[in-house]
């Protein structure tokens, strides 16, 4: 079970503490078990800071605390604080990336499921679309996305496997594998009945709870080879 430790402290010397954290990261290369660290500053009290450190498990956190570098840095950290920091130990019982969930709605519910009405729920009305496979690289408006979904669904009976998703800030990156049977006209190619696969990567940028911008990189050349359009 993943584990996080919340460290609460007050200091007027955050710049020194920030440098101390950089020093700990450098000195514990190859030995630390912490995977993620986030520090927040209290908007109503500029001397109040909270650090959240994530570990794969409680046992990993305990191993990390026993590192000599961790103990030494902690002693120096205490010297910078207005009193002893407090610690809260938490087992992670729920972790939901809301942008990731919304991104999956496009692939599963809209593209494969054909629920075009959901596009207006998932995408901003002034959505900006970038696709290396199109002559016009930038298209504005969610209607263009609806037309793309309709065109692909008319040409193929397909599924999409989400191989990996990475979330950072407002961006969700999805590595996907598309598998389809060619049942309708596609880019001037009459139905062949062939089953094809294609891999690709999509980056969705979110704003105010909806997808604002998307970048598409897909192996369209490989797909055309499989359809017999290229030799």
**List of residues 6+ apart from 217 with CB closer than 8 A:** 132, 200, 201, 202
Domain boundary among 48, 76, 91: 91
Domain that holds residue 57: 3-91
Contact by Cβ (8 Å): 174, 160: no
- 210: domain CATH number is 3.10.450.50
Judge if 75 and 121 occupy the same domain.
no
128 and 221 both lie in a single domain: yes
- Which pLDDT tens digit goes with each residue over 79-110? 999 999 999 999 999 877 889 999 999 999 99
Query: Two tokens at 57?
Result: 């498990």
Distance CA 100, CA 122 (A): 12
Contact 198, 219 (CB under 8 A): yes
Q: Tens of pLDDT along 182-219?
A: 999 998 999 999 999 999 999 999 999 999 999 999 99
Quick one: which H or E segment has residue 205?
strand 195-207
Q: pTM of this prediction?
A: 0.75
Question: Collapsing DSSP states into helix, strand and coil, what is residue 143?
Answer: helix
One domain for residues 156 and 125: yes
């Amino acid at each position: 079970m993943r584990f996080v430790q919340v460290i609460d402290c007050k200091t007027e010397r955050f710049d020194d503490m920030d440098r101390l954290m950089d020093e700990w990261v450098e000195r514990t290369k190859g030995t630390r078990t912490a995977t993620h660290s986030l520090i927040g500053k209290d908007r109503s009290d500029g001397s109040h800071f909270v650090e959240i450190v994530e570990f794969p498990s409680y046992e990993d956190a305990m191993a990390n605390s026993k590192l000599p570098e961790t103990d030494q840095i902690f002693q120096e950290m205490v010297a910078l604080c207005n009193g002893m920091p407090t610690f809260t130990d938490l087992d992670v019982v729920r972790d939901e990336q809301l942008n990731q969930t919304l991104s999956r709605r496009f692939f599963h519910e809209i593209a494969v499921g054909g629920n075009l009405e959901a596009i207006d729920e998932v995408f901003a009305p002034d959505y900006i679309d970038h696709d290396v496979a199109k002559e016009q690289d930038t298209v504005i408006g969610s209607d263009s996305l609806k037309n793309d979904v309709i065109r692909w669904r008319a040409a193929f009976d397909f599924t999409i496997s989400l191989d990996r998703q990475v979330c950072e800030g407002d961006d969700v990156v999805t590595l996907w594998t598309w598998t389809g049977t060619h049942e309708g006209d596609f880019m001037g190619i009459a139905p062949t009945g062939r089953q094809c696969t294609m891999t690709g990567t999509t980056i969705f940028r979110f704003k105010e709870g909806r997808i604002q911008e998307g970048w598409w990189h897909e192996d369209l050349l490989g797909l055309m080879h499989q359809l017999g359009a290229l030799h």
